[in-house]
Amino acid sequence: MAEGSFINPYTFVPFPDEPAPRGTPHGHAGNGDLLSGFLQVTITTRTPLLLRDITSRQTDVPRRSDGTPFIPGSALKGAIRSLHETLVGGCLRVFNSDFCPAYRDSSSGEQIGDVRMAIVDEHADENSPPVLRLCEKSGKNASLRLRVKQDKLVQLNDEKALTSGARLDVKFDPGSGAVIEANHNPQGDWVVFITAARPGSSKKPYSAQIRRAPLKPTSQADLVTVSPEVWNRYLLAVAGADDLRTAQLVNRTPGQQTEPVQLGNKTVGHRYLASRKLTPGQPVWAVMNGNEIVALRLGMIWRHLQGEPASERIPPGLRPCTKSDDLCPSCRLFGSAETERDTRERAEQHSYRGHVRFGDATAQGEVTTRKVVLPPLGAPRPGTGQFYLVNDAFESRTTRGRPLREWGSQADADSPRMLRGRKYYWHTKLPDGRATPARGDERVPSNKNMSRSAHVVDQGAVYTARLSFTDIDEQQLGSLLAALQPGCLGGTEAWQHIGGGRPVGYGSCTVEVDEQSSVVWRSSSRYGPAPQPQSVDQSAYVSAFRAWAQATIPSVVEQWDPLISKVLSPDTISDPRKVSYPPGPRSEAADSATPFEFFTYTSGISLKATKYQPAREFPLTSLPKLDSGDQTLPAITDANDEAAQAKKRER
């Protein structure tokens, strides 16, 4: 399909056939036969370590009051617990069971319903629905073309900032119904809706929708309160909007509500940024069923929730633990936080305090830090079905309906496709990481608005920390040691990930347990004679864990080697420079790549021919499985896309 290839930064360890059984934890009553003690560990950074400053300054790596860099114990605990859950088949502790992705609506092939423009009258806060004023139905103006074209929008904005929701006086051509004149007027009869310029807008001239304004503000006839159900669906849909990505938010001024929409060097107006709180005077779109609002959108063609929730796409035995007396092995060791409400809305506490405490890891010796520029890094997008779902039965297929990649598409007709597994990032031996792209590298997007700076600790830094444990058994101690040093299970070198920046090669570390400085004793000595600590015999405790695992979770043990050892090995990826997010065609108007086009080209959809482009087939292309010997995916560029070439020849 393309010249060149890339390796996606992350992969998935498949869910085991039989998750670990749940049971009652040891409790904290002080069973004398159990073990207590502490482990002394040494952490060495193998690639730069990215940790956010825990103060409000965000200008340096975390440091103690004396200036010593440190790794917060919470960061260390999160990394170790995550791997422990994989090694023992524990529950998905950090998991949004209710997650359901939102996808952009299609402008063709589906009816978008009775959609009316509405103006926000008031909105107290994001936790309550807004009150809207409905504009006139567009059907009453069937003879008019309710759009203002790009050149007139530019003219209006040059005269005075044209913000979405502005009122206009508009004149239409009596014959064609097209807008021939538009002028600013705060009391005008028409409201303009400014949206973002979508990719490809250079091929189809930009225009803005207009609708006849609501009745006088004193009238109650056009006033409608959005229902809580509709508002909750809106909040779920807006959660995935680009405007709410972290990299966008950090570059925004406090209180900013709008941004200019530019085409080349021309500004057509100012649009409202996607937000969980709407602004009085802001226009939105209401999907109507008679006189009832059934959906709320920030665009006439916007986003829709799709498919079964995430809880239906994982084995039932992996759903987060909810009862303190019925916990997976990881929750029995590290603890579980869960609160439920009964029918009378009274909180019932089902949490369980863990048996392991992680101290901060402090730097030893001189540590070198530096400032780097991170490429765009957004939140995970499980709605990307090519990578996150099991697509075996639909690989390389297409459909004329919703793209097969989408949750709830034809590929889910028989039953919801399962999630691929637990997400892991590849380790790559790159001393500088992959945060700063090489100049001219077409595989890395150049977007200053989404890039941000950060401070990192260089490779080779050494930290030490102490982990205390109380009232655990031999196999639990062995499982903790295995999570700290996973190489002891597969017999190969294994690295950990700590901190942020994993998509660009940061955070790879090794952890070593100092047996001589680590001690263990029987809990019975707590109230008896003075404790008689002994050094920790790692091999004995790991053997106890291995014996328990082989008898209790054999399907998980089968994944230790080669799957888990493969994803933790620093030698799996022979060419680290191939690791990147999907590249895409380069824009003709800007010197940057557009990697998100990859997901269009691999989405599993068949498009009809239009006057703008020929018929096209985009077969569903999935992320390679972890056990595959070849982890590369074909790159997609304008130069080797057959449809793009055909279009150029037509010109």
Q: Which of 9-18, 95-104, 306-315, 607-616 has the highest mean pLDDT?
A: 9-18
Judge whether residue 198 has pLDDT over 70: no
Average pLDDT over residues 245-256: 73
pLDDT, average across residues 86-98:
93
Q: For residue 37, give both structure tokens.
A: 């003690």
Q: Kindly state the average pLDDT of the residues 453-466.
A: 92
Q: Is residue 618 exposed (0-12), middle (13-18) or buried (19+ Cβ within 10 Å)?
A: buried
Distance set, CA 32 to CA 26, 471, 525 (Å)? 11, 8, 7
Pick 585 or 287 by higher pLDDT. Answer: 287
Q: Can you tell me whether residue 351 is helix, strand or coil?
A: coil
pLDDT at 9: 93
Nearby residues of 605 by Cβ (< 8 Å), 6 or more positions away: 398, 399, 400, 402, 403, 404, 618
**Does pLDDT of 384 surpass 60?**
yes
**pLDDT confidence bin for 22, thresholds 50/70/90:** very high
Per the model's pLDDT, the better-predicted residue between 395 and 217 turns out to be 395
Q: What average pLDDT does this structure show over 409-438? A: 84
Positive or negative: CA dihedral 473, 479, 482, 484:
negative
- Give residue 246's pLDDT: 62
Alpha-carbon distance of 383 to 96, in angstroms, equals: 13
Helix ranges restricted to H, 17-100: 73-88
pLDDT at 244: 80
CATH architecture of 15-99+321-375+445-572: 2-Layer Sandwich (3.30)
More confident residue, 402 or 485: 485
Neighbour count for residue 167 (Cβ, 10 Å): 17
Average pLDDT, the chain: 85
Evaluate if residue 2 carries a pLDDT over 60.
Answer: no
Residue 1 pLDDT level (bands cut at 50, 70, 90)? very low
Mean pLDDT on 627-638: 85
Domain spans of the chain, in order of start:
15-99+321-375+445-572, 102-305
pLDDT at 377: 67
pLDDT at 493: 93
- The whole-number pLDDT of residue 137 equals 84
> What is the torsion angle, in degrees rounded to the nearest 10, for the CA atoms of residue 199, residue 201, residue 207 and residue 210?
-20
Q: According to the model, what pLDDT value does residue 336 have?
A: 93
CA distance 498 to 519: 25
User: What is the rounded end-to-end Cα distance, in angstroms, of the chain?
Assistant: 23
- From the list 123, 152, 114, the residue with the least C-alpha distance to 281 is 123
Do 269 and 151 form a contact (C-beta atoms < 8 A)? no
Separation of alpha carbons 208 and 149, rounded Å: 7
Q: Is the pLDDT of residue 58 over 70?
A: no
Q: Closest Cα partner for 188 from 154, 163, 212, 152?
A: 212
Residue 186 predicted with pLDDT over 60: yes
Inform me whether the pLDDT recorded for 437 exceeds 50. no
- Which residues, at least 6 apart from 218, have a Cβ–Cβ distance to it below 8 Å? none
**pLDDT for residue 192 is more than 80:** yes
- pLDDT for 592: 39
What are the residue ranges of helices labelled H in 216-297? 228-238, 246-249
Rounded CA-CA distance 293/291 in Å is 7
- The residue type of 438 is A
**The pLDDT of residue 373 is above 90:** no
643: three-class secondary structure by DSSP: helix
Query: In this predicted structure, what is the pLDDT of residue 529?
Result: 64
Identify the pLDDT of residue 77: 96
Tell me the range of 375-384, 431-440, 544-553 where mean pLDDT is highest: 544-553
pLDDT of residue 598: 83
Average of per-residue pLDDT across 9-35: 93
pLDDT at 542 over 90: yes
Please list the alpha-helical segments (H only) found in 143-256.
Answer: 150-159, 228-238, 246-249
CA distance 412 to 432: 42
| pLDDT tens digits, one per residue of 135-167 | 988 777 778 999 999 999 999 999 999 999 999
To the nearest whole percent, how much of the chain has pLDDT over 70? 83
Give the CB-side neighbour count of residue 447, counting CA atoms within 13 A. Answer: 18
DSSP of 356-407: EEEPPEEEES---EEEEEEPP-----TT-HHHHB--GGGTT--BSSS-TTST
Average the pLDDT over 467-492 and give the result.
95
* Residue 344 CB neighbours (<10 A): 5
Band of pLDDT at residue 451, cut at 50, 70 and 90: low
Q: Is the pLDDT of residue 646 over 90?
A: no
Average pLDDT rounded to a whole number, residues 210-237: 84
Average pLDDT for residues 18-45, to the nearest whole number? 93
